[in-house]
Amino acid sequence: MTFQTALRAGLIGLALSTGAASVLAGAADYEFQPLNVDVKNGAGSEFAVRLVHKPTGKPVPGAVLFRTRLDMAPDNMADMMAKHEAMPASEPGVYAFKADLTMAGGWAFRIMAKVPGEAETVEGVVVFRAKD
């Protein structure tokens, strides 16, 4: 085997192993976390979630969040929903929102997101507690 043939074989092996590592990554490697579990009950309540890459513990900026839902499922009232809107975030990997929470208690924020470089959709549920 010549040096060029060995070099090509080595580069092909490296490319294949790098591709295999990418295939092993997936949506389960990400997690949404609340910045604060307790939020203010009422109009204009603000809350935020951080998207974290679990293997590294680092925040994930640049995700596109869609199909968000805020409801009272933790208190067995999933039909009670609150309108919410995105706000500018204070730091990379943090996604902030404002909502009109109509009742004190547990609120579940359900999120679907597309993460840059990730083929699968990342899904999560973060529970907040609205307090008077």
Q: What are the tens digits of pLDDT across the range 30-50? A: 999 999 999 999 999 999 999
What per-residue string of b and e applies to 32-51 under the rule 16 or more CB within 10 Å gives b? bebbeeebebeeebebbbbb
Give the pLDDT band of residue 25 (cuts 50, 70, 90): low
Which of 23-37, 39-53, 80-94, 114-128 is predicted least confidently? 23-37
Domain boundaries, the chain: 26-131
pTM: 0.79
Residues pairing with 72 in the sheet: 77
Q: How confident is the model at residue 12 (pLDDT cuts 50, 70, 90)?
A: low
Sequence-separated (6 or more) residues with CB below 8 Å from residue 97: 46, 47, 48, 68, 70, 84, 85, 86, 87, 109
* Fold category of 26-131 in CATH: Immunoglobulin-like (2.60.40)
Q: Can you name the residues that pair with 112 across neighbouring β-strands?
A: 66, 123
pLDDT value at 72 more than 50:
yes
